Chains A and B, each alone.
Chain A
Amino acid sequence: MKSLEKIKNQTILTLLLALVFLGCERDISDDAVLASFASTAEIFTDSPVGMGSDFYFPYRGSKATAWSVDDSEGYESSSSMRFDVPNATDPEGTYAGAIFRVEGAGRDLTNYDALTFWIKASQGVVIGELGFGEDFINNEYITTLSNVSVGTNWQKVIIPIPDASKLIQERGLFRYSAGTQATNGLGYTFWIDELKFEKLGTIAQPRPSILNGNDVSVNTFIGVNIDITDLNQTFNLGNGRDVTIAAAPKYFTFSSSNPSVASVNDLGVVEILSAGTAVVSATLGGEDVKGSLNINSIGSFSLPPTPTRNASDVISIFSDYYTNTTVDFYNGYWQPYQTTESADFSVNGDNFLNYTNFNFVGIQFSNPTIDITSLPNLHFNMYIPNGVPSNFDFLVTVVDFGPDGVNGGTDDTRHQLFVRKTPSIVADSWMTIEFSLNGLTNKSNVGILIFENINFSSLTNFYLDNIYFYK
């Protein structure tokens, strides 16, 4: 139904354009006006403005009745929109969040530079996300101001439009998501009034960025897809303050310096096509974007040996060949001592774990723990790109959580497996590493695998695949 509407609108637009162009022989006549859409600025003043009757669409898991019109509160008026954020334990929804999607064709917002509104809350709170551009259809121009600090007096919020020239027919006029993470799970209320688009004229000094403004280098392979992330636009407001908003990929124009090595689409997804180097960069509204992805494509990715054991003889933790057991996480991100980050990737649908900036990392599978009594061996494939450090020394620890089934307590047992530097530890090819776990005292509640550098080993980057226990 919704996509039909869209098709219909596009058809009408195309027809209108066609008529306009047919109607003039050389240039568009001065009388002709290109088809355009309503440019109504207001979304809510004392009541919803031009939104139609069916415009409020809650997010899944949110409390659908969180929004109402309050006729006893308002900014210099007697009405405002009221949002009752539920307690985290509310069975009808654990947070409040929704989009406001105008019915019909959408609005032309190209002459505005910001979404603005007045807001106050029942207590000082930080509201997770406020923005626009989400329509539950293509969600092309989602724009988000995160972690908005709101007090108990009315204050004006300005959410700049990253590039208004893109918004010729926008239906997603407002979106919000508010939880109780910062209020110990206790609900609160906030009010929004005078919600509208404005041309302030004082929003300036755009500083768009991708990848947090960093020039990121990656070694990679043919077939790998990489998402360009952390897409932001920063402006300086008329009050002198900087504001940074998250901007959807569609606001950006991505380009590759070497499209035969790496292509990039308009969603900021890079695909590696051949060996060589390429730099993916972007512009936004004609401005150069800070940050880039420097790609070094090594060429074809060698795949690890295909597992040969029968599935019935295996409990798999990570593999595309076997069905994996339930895994809590592949990187526990244990603060503050862990530096290890994840840059997991896939090659033609085959998934690989990639640990970068490695010091140690844990893979936990405790819901439920697994019983390896009849499968007392560990297998994994490991690939170290760009050379094995001379001080390589690698430890694998397998931990059984004991009868209590939890990490810690008094009944945990562990077994340490050492991968020392030997001639068989080589770079740029898949190694198969197998250990017996007969030394592990208890084997019926195994819950975690820990990989770590020991003895000052400076291994920083490696890939893993086919991690499983076997008979």
Chain B
Amino acid sequence: MKLNKINRLGFVALVLAVLSSCENSETQTVTSLNNLVWSDDFDNSGAPDINRWVYEIGDGTAQGIPGWGNNELQYYTARPENVKVENGVLKITAIKENYMGAGYTSARILTKGLFQQKYGRFEARIKLPWGKGLWPAFWMLGDDENGSVSWPNIGEIDIMENRGDEPTITHGSIHGPGYSAGNAVTKSYDLNARLDTQFHIYGIEWGPNYINYYVDDVLYNQITPDDLPDGTNWVFNDREFYIILNVAVGGSFAGSPNVETVFPQTMEIDYIRVFN
């Protein structure tokens, strides 16, 4: 316990040193972009705002990636059982049920074609689901130029990913050519506080040749081209990205649910905001 804490403090100190953007060692400058350019506060109950969000439906087969490329177990729908706005929060709910040949349903919504931009500060206030096999995520993919560029060349920025059986740990990652899937550039951050019983703010501040990762008021990582494997390229300076929110069930990252996993499970998003 004590050692962990020391490590964490040491790590924060390291980040501070690397960033050298703080006025003094007492205060950490977490973000610098404050001009709000896009947001959804989820104030209107019902389906997500069609001017902001589109759905991805199915198990990935139609997209040519059954199991969404990760052996995931859920079938995404646009049904209110799986995705709705209620009491000022967006709720994405994973349900254990037989549906269209899958054992679970859930939802995945994205801003593709409706809101995309290069660089900026992207953050959301989220309360996570919990339990083995749950895999909630707040992430971004690069524009694929009408399908002419494919993953991982388009780039992927994972602002928050969590394994439901690690209720205090968030993961921030980037994927690109030569550093994707199991070889992504990742930092895991243990808040030593639950992510499933409290809302936390997960964000990145992204600019030329850097992506800063923060949770609440703690900057916990910066990724730059220097962090990439030798011989690989930074793909985050040349295209717009769109936002994705989803709750996956099972798959290579989180593993399958077990008998103790409680369903249904809901990810609640209080707001999502983008600043320049």
Q: List residues of chain A with CB under 8 Å of any chain B CB.
A: 201-202, 204-205, 207, 236, 238-242
Contacts and interface: CB of A to CB of B under 8 A. Distances in A.
Interface of B: 130-132, 163-168, 192-194, 196-197, 260, 262
Contacts of B130: 204-205, 236
B132 A240 contact: yes
Contacts of A242: 260
A166 B132 CA distance: 31
Nearest to A237: B167
B160 to A, nearest CB: 17
A238 B192 contact: yes
A271 B258 CA distance: 39
Contacts of A202: 167-168, 192-194
A240 B194 contact: no
A446 to B, nearest CB: 47
A452 to B, nearest CB: 35
A238 B262 contact: no
Nearest to A156: B1
Contact of A240 (B166, B193, B262): B166
Given A205-B130, A207-B262, A240 B165 contact: yes
Contacts of B167: 202, 204, 236, 238, 240
B194 A238 contact: yes
A201 B193 contact: yes
Nearest to A234: B260
Given A204-B194, A205-B196, 20 more contacts: A201-B193, A201-B194, A202-B193, A202-B194, A204-B167, A204-B197, A205-B130, A205-B197, A205-B262, A207-B262, A238-B167, A238-B168, A238-B192, A238-B194, A239-B166, A240-B132, A240-B163, A240-B167, A241-B165, A242-B260
B80 to A, nearest CB: 25
Contacts of A204: 130, 167, 194, 196-197
A242 B130 CA distance: 11
A204 B194 CA distance: 8
16 contacts: A201-B194, A202-B192, A202-B193, A204-B194, A204-B196, A204-B197, A205-B196, A205-B197, A205-B262, A207-B262, A236-B130, A236-B131, A238-B167, A238-B168, A238-B192, A240-B164
A72 B166 CA distance: 36
Contacts of B132: 240
A241 B260 CA distance: 9
A430 B7 CA distance: 74
A298 B240 CA distance: 72
8 smallest CB-CB distances across A and B, nearest first, come from A240-B165, A204-B197, A242-B260, A204-B194, A240-B166, A238-B168, A202-B194, A240-B167
Nearest to A201: B193
Nearest to A200: B192
